[in-house]
Structure 1
Amino acid sequence: MKPSPDDPEAWNAYLAEGNAKQARKRVSADVVLRDAAGQILLVNPTYKPDWDLPGGMAEENEPPEETVRRELGEELGLEVVPCGLLVVDWVAPHGPWDDQIAFVFDGGTINEERLDPQDGELSEACFVPPDTALTLVGERMRRRLRAALRAIDQDRPQYLRDGGPAW
């Protein structure tokens, strides 16, 4: 017999059992930050070959927008508050990785001329024109960045399925 909410202890145990059986998702959160000229901030990670948008992987039970704030604080010493959602991308399992939900937020415009990486995860950070940014990032991020730029132009978030249109 299934417990009811009238017995909070049994009900919570029942819900916890169901929760333990459900899939867990990896979550990443990146941000599009622009300078006054409309250039995009890219970072050069030390642990992979291509440039990237600033951001990173969420910690356990961390909301994606907080991931952006934490990562930019840790890696670049920036205080950034996302001002909108640009992209949600469901990423299929690949290589050793399970599936993932990738968020890209709009970080608006910042006036930093020089950005120095604060930890060993990044070797460089710089603003580049959007067309250049699309040549520097890897294929998966390129599809997300294109969608993010489209979202900015259309003032409408984009949903992707493994980097492409979901429908």
Structure 2
Amino acid sequence: MTSDPSSRSVAGVLPVEQYVAGLPRKRMAAGVLFRDGADRVLLVQPSYKPNFEIPGGAVEADESPWATAQREVREEIGCDYPLGRLLVVDYVRPQDSRPEGVVFVFDGGQLTEDDVAAMVFAESEIVSADFHTMAEARGKVKPLLADRLESALDAIRLGTTVICEQGRRIA
């Protein structure tokens, strides 16, 4: 009898190694929602695409979503703010040649105009950052992100984490 765990079968069907190799792969991303005292949201303007975003990005191999969020905030706006609680877990269907994925949004807390003025943007990646009302944000971000931001603001008001599909709250 072999002691190699990869040669063992899962429920008598496949060796573990084959089973694991056949599992679906999902992309993951993480972002941070910063806001001001009036609940306006901080949006960054990337240089490489027309729509605005919140600080964040793709989770890299062997990186947790919360580590991604902290890394992206440091890289994009030059700040090392403590990461708050998880606000949103959003399942996103495949779109625009991207596979399905899961997006996490963490609470970055409240910032001031002085905090924004002190930000150091990632060279050639971020052009600007500023606070926007949700009505303004809807005109600057993709609809999916706008829905996710509304859900994140709901999570803050409710003191909970919300579960979303395509940015819309389901729980």
TM-score by length of 2: 0.84
Percent of matched pairs sharing the same residue:
34
1:139 aligns with 2:133: no
Other-structure match for 1:61? 62
Other-structure match for 1:164? 168
Q: CA separation in 2, counterparts of 1:61 and 1:129?
A: 35
Q: CA separation in 2, counterparts of 1:91 and 1:130?
A: 21
Q: How does 1:12-161 map to 2 (within 5 A)?
A: 12=6, 14-111=15-112, 112-114=115-117, 115-161=119-165
Q: CA separation in 1, counterparts of 2:170 and 2:122?
A: 37
**Secondary structure at the counterpart of residue 80 of structure 2:** coil
- For this pair of structures, how many residues does the alignment match? 161
For the aligned residue pairs, the C-alpha RMSD in angstroms reads 2.1
Contact 2:151 2:169 in 1 (8 A): no
Aligned partner (choices 11, 21, 33) of residue 5 of structure 2: 11
Q: CA separation in 1, counterparts of 2:120 and 2:67?
A: 21
Q: CA separation in 1, counterparts of 2:87 and 2:128?
A: 24
**1:92-148 superposed Cα distances (whole Å, 9 cap, x missing partner):** 111311101011111112341412312222111112234322332111101100101
**Secondary structure at the counterpart of residue 139 of structure 2:** helix
Q: Give the unaligned 5+ runs of structure 1.
A: none
TM-score by length of 1: 0.85
